[in-house]
Structure 1
Amino acid sequence: MYHKEKSIQIKNSASALYNNLGVLRIAPRRLTYFTVVHANVVNMVSASWDGLNYSHRQLQSKEPNVATSTSLITQAAFCALPSRDLLVVTSQKGIQMYESDGSIMVYWHALDTPETATELLCVPAQAVFARGISAVCESYICVGLSTGAILVFDVPSKGSNITLSDVMEGHKESITDMASECCGGEVCIADLVSADDGGNLCVWQSGEEFKLLNHIPGFDISCSSVKLWKGTVVAGYGTGQIRLYEAVTGILHAEVNAHARWIYSLDIAPFSGLLLSAAEDSLVRVWHLTMTPESHSVEIAHLYNECVTDTQICGAKFCDGDGYAFAVTGYDLSEIIRYTQS
Structure 2
Amino acid sequence: MAAATTERYRKEQSIPLRSSSAALYNNLSVLRLPGGRLAALSAVHGPSLSLLSAAADGLGFSHRQLQAKEGGMAVSTSLLTQAAWCVLPARVLLVLTSQRGIQMYESDGSIMVYWHALDVAEHSPGTSSGLVLVFDIPPKGTNVTVSEVLEQHRDAITDIAAELGQAPVHVESAPDGAGDLVSADDAGTLCIWSTGEEFTLLSKIPAFGCSCSSVKLWNGIVAAGYGNGQIRLYEAATGLLRAEVNAHARWIYALDVAPQTGKLLSGAEDSFVHVWKLSRNPDTGEVAIEHCHAECVTDTQVCGARFCDPEGNSFAVTGYDLSEIFRYGRA
TM-score by length of 1: 0.88
- For residues 124-180 of structure 1, the C-alpha deviation after alignment (integer angstroms, 9 at most, x for no partner) is xxx32231xxxxxxxxxxxx1111010000111111111111101110000000100
Q: What secondary structure, in the 3-state scheme, does the structure 2 residue paired with 1:145 have? A: coil
Match in the other structure for 2:90: 83
Residue 47 of structure 1, CA deviation: 2.2
Q: How many aligned positions are there?
A: 316
Q: Does 1:167 align with 2:167?
A: no
Matched, 1:157 2:139: yes
Q: Partners of 2:293 and 2:165 in 1: how far apart?
A: 28
Residue by residue, what CA displacement relative to the aligned partner does 1:206-249 show, whole Å, maximum 9, x if unpaired? 11211111000111210000001111110000000000011221
- Corresponding residue number in structure 1 for 2:123: 129
In the aligned structure 1, how far is the partner of 2:69 from the partner of 2:286? 45
Matched, 1:4 2:11: yes
Change (3 A) 1:183 1:337: closer
SS in 1 for 2:13: coil
Q: Which amino acid aligns with 1:72?
A: L
Q: Summarize the Cα distance change of 1:91–1:220 in structure 2 as closer, same or farther, 3 Å threshold.
A: same
8 Å contact kept, 1:32–1:49: no
Letter in 1 for 2:102: I
Residue deviations 1:174-220 (CA, integer Å, cap 9, x gap): 00001000347998641100000110000001112111110001112
Aligned residues of 1:268 and 1:274 also touching (Cα < 8 A): yes
Cα gap change, 1:59 to 1:298, in 2 (>3 Å): same
Q: 1:233 aligns with which of 199, 222, 227?
A: 222
Partner of 1:68: 76
Cα distance in 1 for residues equivalent to 2:87 and 2:93: 7
Query: Do the aligned residues in 2 keep the contact of 1:31 with 1:49 (CA within 8 Å)?
Result: no
Inter-CA distance 30–48: structure 2 relative to 1 (3 Å threshold)? farther
Find out whether 1:243 has 2:232 as its counterpart. Answer: yes
TM-superposed deviation, 1:66: 4.0
Contact kept? 2:36, 2:309, Cα under 8 Å: no
The worse-fitting range, judged by mean Cα deviation, of 179-188 and 310-319 is 179-188
Q: Structure 1 residues 183, 47: closer, same or farther in 2, change over 3 A?
A: closer
- Whichever residue aligns with residue 122 of structure 2, its letter is V
Distance 1:241 1:31 in 2: 30
1:29, 1:276 → 2: CA distance?
A: 17
Match of 1:273 in 2: 262
Cα 1:292–1:28 change in 2 (3 A) is closer
Shift of 1:63: 2.1
Q: TM-score, normalised by structure 2?
A: 0.91
Q: 1:209 to 1:29 in 2, by over 3 A?
A: closer
Q: How many angstroms does 1:49 deviate by? A: 7.4
Aligned mate of 1:193, from 182, 185, 191: 182
Paired residues for 1:320-331 under 5 Å: 320-331=309-320
1:49/1:227 CA distance change after superposition, 3 Å: farther
In the alignment, structure 1 segments of 5+ residues that lack a partner are 114-126, 132-143
Verify the 8 A CA contact 1:315 1:329 in the aligned structure 2.
yes
Q: Structure 1 residues 29 and 99 mapped into 2: Cα distance closer, same or farther (>3 Å)?
A: farther
Q: Which residue of 2 aligns with 1:179?
A: 161
Q: Name the CA distance, whole Å, in 1 between partners of 2:244 and 2:28.
A: 25
Secondary structure at the counterpart of residue 275 of structure 1: strand
Is contact 1:32–1:46 with CA below 8 Å preserved after alignment? Answer: yes
Q: Distance in 2 between matches of 1:258 and 1:322?
A: 22
- Do 1:48 and 1:54's aligned partners in 2 also have CA atoms closer than 8 Å? yes
Partner in structure 1 of residue 207 of structure 2: 218
Q: Write out aligned runs for 1:33-48 (5 A).
A: 33-48=40-55
* C-alpha distance in 2 between matches for 1:100 and 1:146: 26
Superposition deviation, residue 48 in structure 1: 3.2
Residue type at the aligned position of 2:262? G
Specify whether residues 2 and 14 from structure 1 end up closer, same or farther in structure 2 by C-alpha distance, changes over 3 A only: same
Structure showing greater relative contact order (alpha-carbon pairs closer than 8 Å, 6 or more residues apart): 2
Provide the aligned C-alpha RMSD in A: 1.8
